[in-house]
Chains A and B, each alone.
Chain A
Amino acid sequence: MLMIECPHCGVRPEGEFTYGGQAHVPYPEDPQALTDEEWAQYLFYRDNPKGTFRERWVHSAGCRKWFNAIRDTRTYDITSTYLGAAPAEANSTQGAQ
């Protein structure tokens, strides 16, 4: 079981959380303008790196708030959790393949 630090409640066991997949996937700015290919990318395609991954979790059995985490998908180690935009140091890490 992962131990996850909710930015609001502190470190809690994984069973209290629900996973939300890749973080920072914005809703299209002008949905009407999207091609079918672009819609497919938005709806069905997500990064799947073997390495560092920025992802969403919700503390469903706690404060029920969403937040983001940076986790290594090889070791499952969570290096940080945060609210809002990605911290600067995470911007360049898009998963060692």
Chain B
Amino acid sequence: MTTAQGSGQRALPPHPSFLWRNPDPRNSYDVVIVGGGGHGLATAYYLAKVHGITNVAVLERGWLAGGNMARNTTIIRSNYLWDESAAIYEKSLKLWEGLEDELGYDIFFSQRGVLNLAHTLQDQRDSVRRVEANRLNGVDAEYISPEQVKEVCPIINISQDIRYPVMGATYQPRAGIAKHDWVAWGYARRASELGVDLIQNCEVTGFDMDGDRVVGVRTTRGNIKAGRVALAAAGHTSTLTELAGFRVPIQSHPLQALVSELHEMIHPTVVMSNHVHVYVSQAHKGELVMGAGVDSYNGYGQRGSFHVIEHQMSAAVELFPAFSRAHLLRTWGGIVDVTLDASPIMGLTPVDGMYVDCGWGTGGFKAVPGAGFAFAHTIANNEPHELNRPYSLERFVTGELIDEHGAAAVAH
């Protein structure tokens, strides 16, 4: 195996044994974060680092970062349409650009660019519009021709005789991928060093209230008093808010992905296509990583239907004929929390002292640093950060939706 820089194949460093302490829960914390995925861990880190709040526990019902954080396809980009989205995703991308230094941990962040393909006239128009919007928001973006697509990604089929020929693409050179597990572990290690208790196998099963205020959580490892409670439970958020007595407008769906066996490095960038429902990158070890759209039905089963994979594979093979010889190695699913405007929900809730960060759906990995940063601010100040103010629950009442279906529908 060759080891190279950038998008080349890289050997993984040895697996460390202990990156964080594994304490028993204490009986009281200033802040309890429910959910030890990327968002919960990043939030804990920024609470401790930026706001000096270290009497914090992250409660995780399974093992650390074993939910969507372990299951996503790691695409990072900030080329969303609306100003509100550009602001938070671009903040996140800037944090990604300094994250290896910040965490003192290798996360294989690789800015290999992302192509979002256009296959119809409407796609083309939407893409050009999005590129112009991106530029106005200081997000790097260009609209490129099929020939330029081929230059960026030589293995792609741009011939006219396929069902949905490539008519162009948006290109964000600063986009890329990272190694998801290490991102979680990097945050976990630093948070733990700063005093945060990371508590695994600890499921939150209820809340203790004093009037309208939450004062504690009930868990499978006992009751814990909490000054503030922050929900970062992704697909399980509505099961928790029901326990706390309010609803969130999310629907939980299975979302699947898969990988091939290891190959030589042949795919230098990230390619996504909303129209034919597939996206592909090649991980540092060499496996082709592919995902598609959500299964249509609600589901908590962490698995989806096979025909979704079949559909995605037929699209992949048409766009990348070389893949027809590749073997599928593993498929899996996560549970994603989908909102009707394809934008997240982040902020205060009807319960005093309770905060929610959810609704990232199919695309919240890229947001881990930015969302953690803004959510920590929200919890510390009992007030949203400017970045997440537009993402309040109230927007569903005022009608100020942030419709990102164009930039986020299948795309992650």
Interface string of B203-236 (1 = CB under 8 A from A): 0000000000000000000000000000000001
Assembled-state Cα–Cα distance A39/B249 (Å): 13
Size category, B interface: 20 to 34
Which parts of A1-15 form the interface with B (CB within 8 Å)?
A: 1-2, 13-15
Give the docked Cα–Cα distance between A15 and B243 (Å). Answer: 35
State whether the Cβ of A29 lies closer than 8 Å to any Cβ in chain B: no
CB within 8 Å of A: which residues of B?
A: 236, 238-239, 242-243, 247, 249-252, 296-301, 305-307, 340, 396-399
Contact A55 B297, CB 8 Å, known A2-B305, A50-B236: yes
Bound-state CA distance A63–B251 (Å) is 27
Chain A positions within 8 Å of B301 at CB level: 73-76
30 A-B pairs with CB atoms under 8 Å apart are A1-B305, A1-B306, A1-B307, A14-B305, A14-B307, A36-B398, A37-B397, A40-B249, A40-B396, A43-B396, A44-B249, A44-B340, A46-B249, A48-B238, A48-B239, A48-B250, A48-B251, A48-B252, A48-B298, A50-B252, A50-B300, A53-B298, A55-B297, A73-B300, A74-B301, A75-B301, A76-B297, A76-B299, A97-B239, A97-B243
Nearest 10 A-B pairs (CB), nearest first?
A19-B296, A44-B249, A48-B238, A40-B397, A40-B396, A44-B396, A50-B300, A1-B305, A97-B239, A45-B249
Is A74 touching B300 in the complex (CB atoms < 8 A)? yes
User: Could you mark each residue 13-51 of chain A with 1 if its beta carbon is under 8 Å from any beta carbon of chain B, else 0?
Assistant: 111001101000000000000001101110111101110
- Determine the distance from Cα of A36 to Cα of B307 in the docked complex, in whole angstroms: 40
Write the nearest CB–CB distance from A69 to chain B, whole angstroms: 9
Q: How far is the CA of A84 from the CA of B252 in the complex (A)?
A: 25
A61 CB → nearest B CB, Å: 12
Q: How far is the CA of A15 from the CA of B236 in the complex (A)?
A: 27
CA distance A1 to B297 in the complex (A): 11
Instruction: With both chains docked as a complex, state the minimum distance between the C-beta of B250 and any C-beta of chain A, in angstroms.
Output: 6
A38 nearest CB neighbor, chain B only: B397
Query: Which A residues lie at the B interface, using CB under 8 A?
Result: 1-2, 13-15, 18-19, 21, 36-37, 39-41, 43-46, 48-50, 53, 55, 71, 73-76, 97
Contacts of B299 in A (CB 8 A): 73, 76
Which of B298, B301, B305: most chain A CB closer than 10 A?
Answer: B298
5 more contacts with CB within 8 A, not counting A50-B252, A97-B243, are: A14-B305, A19-B296, A21-B298, A48-B239, A73-B298
CB distance from A56 to the nearest CB of B (A): 10
Contact partners of B399 in chain A: CB under 8 A: 36
Complex Cα distance A74/B301, Å?
5
B240 CB to closest chain A CB, in angstroms?
9
Residue of B whose beta carbon sits closest to that of A18 = B296
In angstroms, Cα B238 to Cα A36, docked, is: 22
User: Across the interface, which residues of B come within 8 angstroms of A53, CB to CB?
Assistant: 298
Contacts known (A36-B398, A97-B239); A71 close to B297, Cβ less than 8 A = yes
Q: Please, how many angstroms separate the alpha-carbon atoms of A68 and B299 in the complex? A: 16
**Chain A residues in 8 Å Cβ range of B249:** 40, 44-46
Q: How far is the CB of A41 from chain B (nearest CB, A)?
A: 8
Q: Which residue of A lies closest to B237 (CB)?
A: A48
Q: Are B307 and A45 in contact (CB under 8 A)?
A: no
Write the chain B residue with the least CB distance to A46: B251
Complex alpha-carbon distance, A75 and B297, angstroms: 12
Name the residue of chain B whose CB is nearest to the CB of A14: B305
Contacts of A73 in B (CB 8 A): 252, 297-301
Closest to B398 in A: A36
Q: Which residue of A lies closest to B394 (CB)?
A: A40
Chain A residues with Cβ under 8 A from B306's Cβ?
A: 1
CA distance A75 to B399 in the complex (A): 35
Closest residue of A by beta carbon distance from B240 = A97
**In the complex, how many angstroms separate the beta carbon of B356 from the nearest chain A beta carbon?**
14
The interface residues of chain A lying within 8 Å CB-to-CB of B238 are: 48
CB-nearest residue of chain A to B249: A44
Q: B236 to chain A: which residues have CB within 8 Å?
A: 50
Among A13, A55, A73, A74, max chain B CB count under 10 A is at A73
Chain A: minimal CB distance from B69 (Å): 19
Q: How far is the CA of A97 from the CA of B243 in the complex (A)?
A: 9
Q: Which residues of B contact A43 (CB under 8 A)?
A: 340, 396
Cα–Cα, bound, A31→B242 (Å): 26
User: Separation in Å of the B98 CB from the closest CB of chain A?
Assistant: 36
Q: What residues on B are CB-neighbors of A37 within 8 Å?
A: 397
Determine the distance from Cα of A43 to Cα of B395 in the docked complex, in whole angstroms.
12
Bound CA span A14–B307, Å: 9
CA distance in complex: A50, B235 (Å): 10
A40 to B398, CA, bound (A): 8
